[in-house]
Amino acid sequence: MGADGEGTKDRLRTEARDLYLEEGFAHFSLREVARRAGVSAAAVYRHYDGKEALFAEVCMAGLQLFYTYLVRAMGEPTPRSRLTATATQYLRFATENPRDYRVLFMGEPQELAVGKAAKQGPDPTFQFLIDRIRECMHARILQEGDALEVATIIWAHVHGLVSLRLSGHLSSAGDDGEFARFYERATEHLLSGLAA
Characterise 140 by phi-psi region: left (phi > 0), alpha (psi -120 to 50), beta (else).
left
Among 151, 10, 165, 13, CA closest to 94: 165
Domains of the chain: 1-48 (1.10.10.60), 60-193 (1.10.357.10)
Cα separation, 24 vs 33, in Å, equals 13
Contact 161/97 with Cβ under 8 angstroms? no
Cα separation, 191 vs 185, in Å, equals 10
Cα separation, 33 vs 22, in Å, equals 12
**pTM of the predicted model as reported, rounded to 2 decimal places:** 0.88
Among 18, 19, 39, CA closest to 29: 19
Cα separation, 105 vs 119, in Å, equals 17
pLDDT tens digits, residue range 133-177? 999 999 999 999 999 999 999 999 999 999 999 999 988 888 999
pLDDT tens digits, residue range 81-109? 999 999 999 999 999 999 999 999 987 76
